[in-house]
Amino acid sequence: MDHLELAPRGDGPVNDVAVLGAGMHPWGKWGRNFVEYGTAAARAALADAGIGWPEVRSVVGADTVRCGYPGHVAGATFARALGWQGARVASVYAACASGAQAIGAARDQILAGAADVVLVVGADSAPKGFFAPAGGDRPDDPDWLRFRLLGATNPAYFALFARRRMALHGDTAEDFARVKVKNAAAGALNPYARYRRTVTAEEVAASAVVADPLRLLDICATSDGGAALVLSSLAYARRHGASDPVRIRAVSTVTPTYPRTVLDLPDIATDSAAGVEPSPHPFRASLALAAYEEAGLDPGDLSLAEVYDLSTALELDWYEDIGLCAAGEGAKLLREGATTLGGRIPVNPSGGLASFGEAVPAQAIAQVCELTWQLRGSAGDRQVPGARAGITANQGLFGHGSAIIAVR
C-alpha cells in the first residue's frame, strides 16, 4: 500500500492502553433519556471488566448537543447517574468523532499517570428524520449556512459523494446496494444492532429515492443507543489478572489541511490553491495514515475494519482512504468479496451504521467495542477468524475525524 507513503513499521512510540471492558445498550428508537442508555452500557462494560464502579478513577463522557444541558457535560452526567464516588470527570464534543476523542482523552490520562482505570461513555437520543441544526439564526455557523443557503442536508452530501464515485470510477447503484446487502447480513448476527434482518439488492433498488442516486436503504438512520469502554494501564491490567488484553495502540484525530481539494460536510468553500501545493492525502486518508504511523502497522496487518458508512457509497470511499486498495478500486474489492464476513479483510462485521444507525457520541466507542470482541474471539457468528489487529475510522463536522487501531 505504498500509495499511502507509510512510515517504516515500528517507527514512532507505542503507547498501549488495555481495554478491560466493553459494553453497549441495544440501538433503536426507544424514546428514553440518553443517560439511561449510557449508564446501561457503562454497567455492562464494568461487568465485562470484572471491576466495581468505585475502582474507576476517571470518567470521560462523549457529549450530545441535542439532549439539553446535561448532554453538554456527559462525564459528570454519567458519573452522577452511576453514583458520585469522587472520580475525576471530563466531557468531549467533537461531532461524530466525540467518542474517539473521549477515548483519546482517557488514554492520555492513563499514560500521564493521572488515572489507572478510566470509564469512557457515549450515548444519544436522536431526533426523527435526518440531523438538522438547532433553531435560531447563526450566519457564522457553516453547518447552519449549508442548510439555509444550499439546502444541503446530510443525505444531499452523501449523494454528491456517490455521484463523484460514479463519475470518477464508474461505480454503479448496484455496487452501492452490495454494501447494504453485506452490512445487513452482518448486522443480522449482532444482538445490539437496530436492524437485524438480511436485505436483498432488489429491496435496496425498490426503496424510495432520498437523494439521487441514493435510496432509503443506502442511507443510515438516526438512532438511540449507548456504548462504553473500561480502559486501563497495562500495569493495572496485569494486576487485575489480564495478561493479554486487547490494546489500543493508536488514536488519530488530525485535522484537514488547506487547500481543500475535496469539499467535505459542512464546508461550502475552500482556501485558494493558487499558491500552495495540495496535500498528497485527502482528509479521510490522513486520519488512517496518522494512526498507522503511530501504531507502527500498515494496512496489510489488519484483520478487520469498522468504518463510518453514513451511506453505502461512503463505505467504498473508506476502503481507499484506509489503504485497503488504491483509489477507484473500492467497488472492485467489494465485488471480489474481500470485505464480507469470511473475506480477506472484513469491513463492518458489526453491521455498521447501516444496521445500527447514528447515535453520534456513541458510535466511535461502539466501533472499538466491536474491535474488542473480535480481537478477543468472542464475536459469535460474526467472528473474524484469528483477528489480531483492527482499525476504526469516522468523520464528523468541522474537521473532526478519527481513526483508532486496536491489537491483540
Looking at 64-68, 174-178, 307-311, 330-334, which range is the least confident one? Answer: 64-68
Looking at 39-43, 131-135, 205-209, which range is the least confident one? Answer: 131-135
Edge to edge, the sheet with strand 58-62 lists: 88-92, 58-62, 117-124, 224-232, 17-28, 246-252, 401-407, 389-395, 304-307
Neighbours of 203 (CB within 10 A): 17
Bridge pairing between strands 246-252 and 17-28 = antiparallel
Grid cell in block for residue 292 = 498507522
pLDDT above 80 for 110:
yes
Nearest partner of 100 among 321, 330, 407, 400, judged by Cα: 400
Predicted pLDDT of residue 224: 95
* Average pLDDT over every residue of 72-94: 92
More confident residue, 69 or 185: 185
Most confident of 127-136, 265-274, 279-288: 279-288
pTM of the entire structure? 0.93
Predicted pLDDT of residue 115: 96
pLDDT above 80 for 11:
no
* Average pLDDT over every residue of 362-383: 97
- Distance between CA atoms of residues 388 and 394, nearest Å: 21
Grid cell in block for residue 74 = 456527559
pLDDT above 50 for 372:
yes
pLDDT-derived band of residue 96, with 50, 70 and 90 as boundaries?
confident
Reported as a single tens digit per residue, the pLDDT across 224-270 is: 999 999 999 999 999 999 999 999 999 999 988 888 777 776 666 67
Neighbours of 349 (CB within 10 A): 31
Percent of the chain with pLDDT over 70: 92
More confident residue, 148 or 186: 186
Predicted pLDDT of residue 13: 43
Cβ(306)–Cβ(291) under 8 Å? Answer: no
Looking at 34-43, 131-140, 352-361, which range is the least confident one? Answer: 131-140
Q: Is 107 left (phi over 0), alpha (psi -120 to 50) or beta?
A: alpha
Q: What are phi and psi of 48, to 5 degrees?
A: -65, -35
Average pLDDT, whole number, for the chain?
Answer: 91
- Distance between CA atoms of residues 350 and 117, nearest Å: 26
Q: What sign does the CA torsion over 148, 151, 155, 161 have?
A: negative
